[in-house]
A and B are shown apart, each in its own frame.
Chain A
Amino acid sequence: MKRGYRRLAATISLAAMAFMLAGCGDKMGVLNPKGAVGKEQLDLIIISTVLCLIVVVPTLVMAFWIAWKYRIKRKQKTDYQPEWSHNTKAEAFMWGIPLVVIIALASITAHYTYKLEPSKPLKAEAEPITIQVASLDWKWLFLYPEQGIATVNYLQFPDNVPVRFELTSDAPMNSFWIPQLGGQIYTMSGMKMKLHLIADEPGEYFGSGANFSGEHFGAMRFVAKATSQDEFDKWVQEVKNSSPALTKEGYDKLALPGVSDKQFFSSFPDGLFDWIVVKYGSGGHGGHADSSSEKGESHGHSEHSEAMVRTATASEEHAHHHD
């Protein structure tokens, strides 16, 4: 009977492993990083795993070994000591070993927390490119302020060039995540978030919204394509030549709830991103008071949303201090 269970367990775990191996390769996301940020995060994942395993493996071995060794059906029971319930040395080790491991892990974590703070610019030779990101219901809008173009659910940038993402939301909060390049950051309305990523080699990377934002949240996927600078410039020119312009009315329509394919725009209204950031709770600021917002009317306390923008910026400046 017992052997039957074991065989069942072995078969199932073997099958599971086979499936996992089948899934390996370019689909491995976090485990197959293609950018400096993602690589450091993977290092950190490996370091923390190893540190944990130092405690976990002996603990599990000890648990099973002791449970087996002192089973009631053993032959010699002379070592049975029903009163043995305290041993200062053993207890000191029990508290001490996890404490030491946690101190080690905590120092590494603190160090990396400042090093990998997402609002901190990356060190690289190339000048960074800025891309503005807005999560809408249920699509991603990408604005290229330096190139003057805009895209939906499609992202392209040169490889080996740091990308400075500025992020906000014109819908319930979401989270912008390209697993192969590095960790995610929330997109929130009334806030300007920062995230710095870089791609070390050309490729098409999977990106998605990681925070649930309503009915068709699952459709918020996009491609992040890293190419050479030349190819990127060519692509920008192509979008400029062959795509329609994004107007204010066009944006309002785009922001309505619904799903979308990839879209390309040769231009977008000046200051669109900042307008999205301040539109909630800003009465008459930035000359956009006349614009009809799709959801809810804007009135009341403008100080507040500005304060929030300031907070996000402040945390960036703060991160600078730790350089």
Chain B
Amino acid sequence: MWQNIKDFAADFFVTGDPLIYGADVAIVLTMAAIVFVLTYFKKWKWLWTEWLTTVDHKRIGIMYVIAALLMLFRGGVDALLMRTQLAFPNNEFLSPEHYNEIFTTHGVIMILFMAMPLMFGLFNLVVPLQIGARDVAFPFLNALSFWLFFWGAMLFNISFVIGGSPNSGWLAYPPLSGTMFNPGVGQDFYIWGIQISGIGSLMTGINFIVTILKMRAPGMKLMKMPMFTWSVLGSSLAIILAFPILTVTIALLFVDRYFGAHFFTLDGGGNPMMYINLIWMWGHPEVYIVILPAFGIYSEVVATFSRKKLFGYKSMVFAIMAISVVSFITWAHHFFTMGSGGDVNAFFAISTMIIAIPTGVKVFNWIFTMYKGKVSFETPMLWTVLGFIPCFVVGGMTGVMLSVAPADFQFHNSYFLIAHFHQTLIGGVVFGYIAGLIYWWPKVFGFKLNERLGKWSFWFWNIGFYVCFMPQYVVGLMGMTRRLSTYGWDTGWWELNFVSTIGAFLMGAGFLLQVWQILHSIKFMERDTTGDPWNGRTLEWSIPSPAPVYNFARIPHVEEMDDWWEQKKRRENGVAPKPLPPLEPIHMPKNSGIPFIKSFCWFVAGFGLVFDWLWMAIPGFIGVAVCMLAHSFNYDTDYYIPVEEIERTEAAARGAV
């Protein structure tokens, strides 16, 4: 009996590595500390009623951001472990097996559990406020999306200490990810972590399309929408077209692994090439899904801090939509070297280059927005003009170089490629989300972030970035391939790798400075009482910060693009504002515990399927079904905020003005 338990535990828990034991201890201590703090301060009820059951888009947005920053930390630690391993030739800091797990989890976490939730967090925090809405179209669904993401991410992350992490790369190409070469549970954690959170992503896409198309304030025609909202629309359209492909592809992989089917196996007529095509039919639009909202952020930031209208609004809209459409016909540029022949390669090379045109137009538009403006360099603008523009222009250029199919035969799978996509994903996506987070932070929390610490972190991130990734272009041309766990002295790659590692740690320091910046600002920054600390242009700056639960006491009537800016201008010119209509009771959605519980049931079902424990999976699925039924028969989903309460809230918020 005792022996059985010991054997089981040896399989069930990841053992044998001091790093893992350290992590085990840290996880247990952190959990114990959280439980202790919540119990000591009697906060369990607060946690449940205010956060876990909330359907308020602003709170869901905050939870997305917190989760994404935690994932950024985990993915960042993965990155630093890899860079430490590669700092010296023949290093034995990580075994090949461990290294393979780390680059796999680094990739999955950074794209699916860091970039996506940070993006969804910004969608939630900003879009309803920008379009003058009181919430998203489907608040319950929104909460469900978040919790599905959360429990999917937890399921993926738990593989670190239980069962073992996936180790076949972030896109898990078969046959390597099939049972023949990968019999362990790591790959199953990958499948279910992504499936569960992927459903959430799809629903968020639907939710924001409907929100943007149906919930805009009266008078806000499509062509008067703020650019960030446009970019969210472009991104969400791509999500609803691309994510079903991911779900189906991963489901087929699951069927292969679980039921022994032969979609992607070597034997039995399976074809791994089909998987590679399918996964990139999602994977390529995915990178545009995450970058489009970043483009939207840059557009807002540049206009605000140039104190000038965005240049070329129509071009911008057209460019966003063009990118969103063309991104669907470029996927094969990820495998020019698969032997598809000249016709296929030429087609995908050219379709890829075409994307550079609208992207270039956007860069020109941002530059022209500054032209004849009054440009100031608060941190969001610093990230945009000094961080993003040079980084992304160079990253875009290497992207065009990679799209030249016959040359790609020399770049493919090398560190040149690694440097390129980190330059666009960090220089484009991460820099953008950081700029957005700093820009909208005062709207969400009611105080600005400390500028001085923000600038320090900016310089550490940026200098670190170039020190880390510029050498990688060179070492790639020298022949160093990605996913290599070590290399010899004879290769001549050591110096450049060493420099690259220094850069990675500088970026890590930049991240720590950001954490310090946030903590410092929470303690010391003054409250912003204006609701409009940056002299903003769009509707979100017309209401108090943080926004009241109902956002707008009266739904605004929009007349022009950048309506808030125009209102302020009219007021300055002495035009009397129109008399306000009387307040009316506001219709709001009620909190619900079902999204949290249902997603947890998914987690239980997923965990059961990972270990092939039907006794656990079936109750999990029953739980999901019960939650669906319970929600279907719940008619008590909404309430009205009475006028007196609105008056009280507004007085309290405006009273501080």
**Whole-angstrom distance between the Cβ of A196 and the nearest chain B Cβ:** 12
Is B216 an interface residue when CB atoms closer than 8 A count as contact? no
Known contacts A41-B406, A183-B409, A300-B262; A218 and B484 CB within 8 A of each other: yes
C-alpha gap A13/B354 in the complex (Å):
33
**Whole-angstrom distance between the Cβ of B319 and the nearest chain A Cβ:** 9
B467 proximity list for chain A (CB < 8 A): 12, 16
Is A188 an interface residue when CB atoms closer than 8 A count as contact? yes
A30 touches B477 (CB 8 A): yes
A72 touches B376 (CB 8 A): yes
Number of interface residues of B (CB under 8 A): 108
B374 touches A77 (CB 8 A): yes
C-alpha gap A117/B310 in the complex (Å):
45
Is B405 an interface residue when CB atoms closer than 8 A count as contact? yes
Q: Which of B402-423 contact A (CB under 8 A)?
A: 403-414
B410 touches A16 (CB 8 A): no
A189 touches B175 (CB 8 A): yes
Is A27 an interface residue when CB atoms closer than 8 A count as contact? yes
Q: Which of A40-74 contact B (CB under 8 A)?
A: 40-42, 44-45, 48-49, 52-53, 55-56, 59-60, 62-63, 66-67, 70-72
Q: Which residue of A lies closest to B268 (CB)?
A: A300
A210 proximity list for chain B (CB < 8 A): 412-414, 481
Is A319 an interface residue when CB atoms closer than 8 A count as contact? yes
Is A248 an interface residue when CB atoms closer than 8 A count as contact? no
Q: Which of A303-322 contact B (CB under 8 A)?
A: 304-305, 308, 312, 315, 318-319, 322
B368 touches A102 (CB 8 A): no
Interface stretch (choices A108-116, A150-158, A234-242, A261-269): A108-116
Interface stretch (choices A121-129, A140-148, A225-233, A291-299): A291-299
Most chain A CB neighbours (cut-off 10 Å) among B389, B393, B479:
B479
B496 touches A19 (CB 8 A): yes
B342 touches A85 (CB 8 A): no
Contact of A297 among B267, B471, B484 (CB under 8 A): B267
**Whole-angstrom distance between the Cβ of B377 and the nearest chain A Cβ:** 8
Q: Which of B389-438 contact A (CB under 8 A)?
A: 389-390, 393-394, 397, 400-401, 403-414
Contact of A193 among B173, B339, B345 (CB under 8 A): B339
Known contacts A20-B471, A212-B483; A94 and B312 CB within 8 A of each other: yes
**B352-377 to A contact mask, C-beta < 8 Å, 1/0:** 01101100110111011111111111
**Whole-angstrom distance between the Cβ of A176 and the nearest chain B Cβ:** 9
A108 proximity list for chain B (CB < 8 A): 404
Is A105 an interface residue when CB atoms closer than 8 A count as contact? yes
Q: Which residue of A lies closest to B372 (CB)?
A: A81
Known contacts A63-B390, A82-B308; A56 and B375 CB within 8 A of each other: no
Known contacts A110-B349, A319-B342; A186 and B335 CB within 8 A of each other: yes
B357 touches A95 (CB 8 A): yes
B100 proximity list for chain A (CB < 8 A): 212, 214-215, 217
**Whole-angstrom distance between the Cβ of A140 and the nearest chain B Cβ:** 14
**B265-280 to A contact mask, C-beta < 8 Å, 1/0:** 1111111110000000
A318 proximity list for chain B (CB < 8 A): 341-343
B516 proximity list for chain A (CB < 8 A): none
**Whole-angstrom distance between the Cβ of B365 and the nearest chain A Cβ:** 7
B311 touches A118 (CB 8 A): no
Q: Which of A75-123 contact B (CB under 8 A)?
A: 77, 79-87, 90-91, 94-95, 97-99, 102, 105-106, 108-110, 112-119
B470 touches A16 (CB 8 A): yes
Contact of B310 among A85, A172, A184 (CB under 8 A): A85
Is A272 an interface residue when CB atoms closer than 8 A count as contact? no
**Whole-angstrom distance between the Cβ of A288 and the nearest chain B Cβ:** 14
Q: Which residue of B lies closest to A90 (CB)?
A: B368
Is B570 an interface residue when CB atoms closer than 8 A count as contact? no
A299 touches B370 (CB 8 A): no
Contact of B341 among A60, A72, A319 (CB under 8 A): A319
A315 touches B484 (CB 8 A): no
B459 touches A218 (CB 8 A): no
A175 proximity list for chain B (CB < 8 A): 337, 412-413
C-alpha gap A281/B180 in the complex (Å):
14
Known contacts A23-B492, A218-B485, A322-B342; A84 and B406 CB within 8 A of each other: no
C-alpha gap A79/B374 in the complex (Å):
9
**Whole-angstrom distance between the Cβ of B559 and the nearest chain A Cβ:** 16
Q: Which residue of B lies closest to A13 (CB)?
A: B466
Contact of B479 among A30, A66, A80, A298 (CB under 8 A): A30
B356 touches A102 (CB 8 A): yes
C-alpha gap A116/B272 in the complex (Å):
26
Is A208 an interface residue when CB atoms closer than 8 A count as contact? yes
B393 proximity list for chain A (CB < 8 A): 56, 59-60, 63
Q: Tell me the interface secondary structure of chain B in the complex.
A: helix
**Whole-angstrom distance between the Cβ of A260 and the nearest chain B Cβ:** 15
C-alpha gap A38/B406 in the complex (Å):
10
B313 proximity list for chain A (CB < 8 A): 85-86
Q: Which residue of B lies closest to A93 (CB)?
A: B364
A98 touches B266 (CB 8 A): no
Is A254 an interface residue when CB atoms closer than 8 A count as contact? no
C-alpha gap A38/B466 in the complex (Å):
28
Q: Which residue of B lies closest to A46 (CB)?
A: B407
C-alpha gap A301/B459 in the complex (Å):
59
Contacts across chains A and B counted by CB atoms under 8 Å: 336
Q: Which residue of A lies closest to B276 (CB)?
A: A173
C-alpha gap A312/B262 in the complex (Å):
21
A9 proximity list for chain B (CB < 8 A): 463
Is B634 an interface residue when CB atoms closer than 8 A count as contact? no
Contact of B397 among A41, A56, A118, A188 (CB under 8 A): A56
**A7-24 to B contact mask, C-beta < 8 Å, 1/0:** 011001101100110110
Known contacts A85-B311, A188-B272; A212 and B482 CB within 8 A of each other: yes
Is B441 an interface residue when CB atoms closer than 8 A count as contact? no
Is A275 an interface residue when CB atoms closer than 8 A count as contact? no
A40 proximity list for chain B (CB < 8 A): 406
B495 touches A19 (CB 8 A): yes
B266 touches A190 (CB 8 A): yes
C-alpha gap A94/B370 in the complex (Å):
15
Most chain A CB neighbours (cut-off 10 Å) among B335, B372, B408:
B372
Contact of A98 among B168, B361, B484, B493 (CB under 8 A): B361
Known contacts A67-B375, A300-B269; A112 and B356 CB within 8 A of each other: no
Known contacts A8-B463, A66-B370; A27 and B311 CB within 8 A of each other: no
**Whole-angstrom distance between the Cβ of B471 and the nearest chain A Cβ:** 6
B306 proximity list for chain A (CB < 8 A): 70
Q: Which residue of A lies closest to B401 (CB)?
A: A48
A300 proximity list for chain B (CB < 8 A): 262, 267-269
Is A245 an interface residue when CB atoms closer than 8 A count as contact? no
Is B385 an interface residue when CB atoms closer than 8 A count as contact? yes
A85 touches B372 (CB 8 A): no
Known contacts A44-B404, A80-B374, A175-B413; A66 and B361 CB within 8 A of each other: no
A90 proximity list for chain B (CB < 8 A): 312, 364, 368
B339 touches A109 (CB 8 A): no
B377 proximity list for chain A (CB < 8 A): 71
B478 touches A29 (CB 8 A): yes
B346 proximity list for chain A (CB < 8 A): 109-110, 113-114
C-alpha gap A238/B117 in the complex (Å):
62
Is B96 an interface residue when CB atoms closer than 8 A count as contact? yes
**A25-36 to B contact mask, C-beta < 8 Å, 1/0:** 001111100000
Is A162 an interface residue when CB atoms closer than 8 A count as contact? no
Is A216 an interface residue when CB atoms closer than 8 A count as contact? yes
Known contacts A67-B385, A70-B370, A214-B181; A44 and B479 CB within 8 A of each other: no
Provide a sorted-by-A list of 10 A–B residue pairs whose CB atoms are within 8 angstroms. Answer: A19-B496, A52-B401, A62-B367, A82-B309, A85-B308, A102-B354, A105-B353, A172-B175, A179-B479, A180-B479
Starting from the known contacts A183-B412, A190-B266, A193-B339, 7 additional A-B residue pairs (CB-CB under 8 Å) come to: A27-B478, A105-B404, A109-B346, A113-B346, A177-B481, A212-B482, A300-B267
9 closest residue pairs by CB, A with B: A183-B409, A27-B492, A315-B341, A85-B309, A301-B269, A29-B479, A172-B176, A116-B406, A98-B360
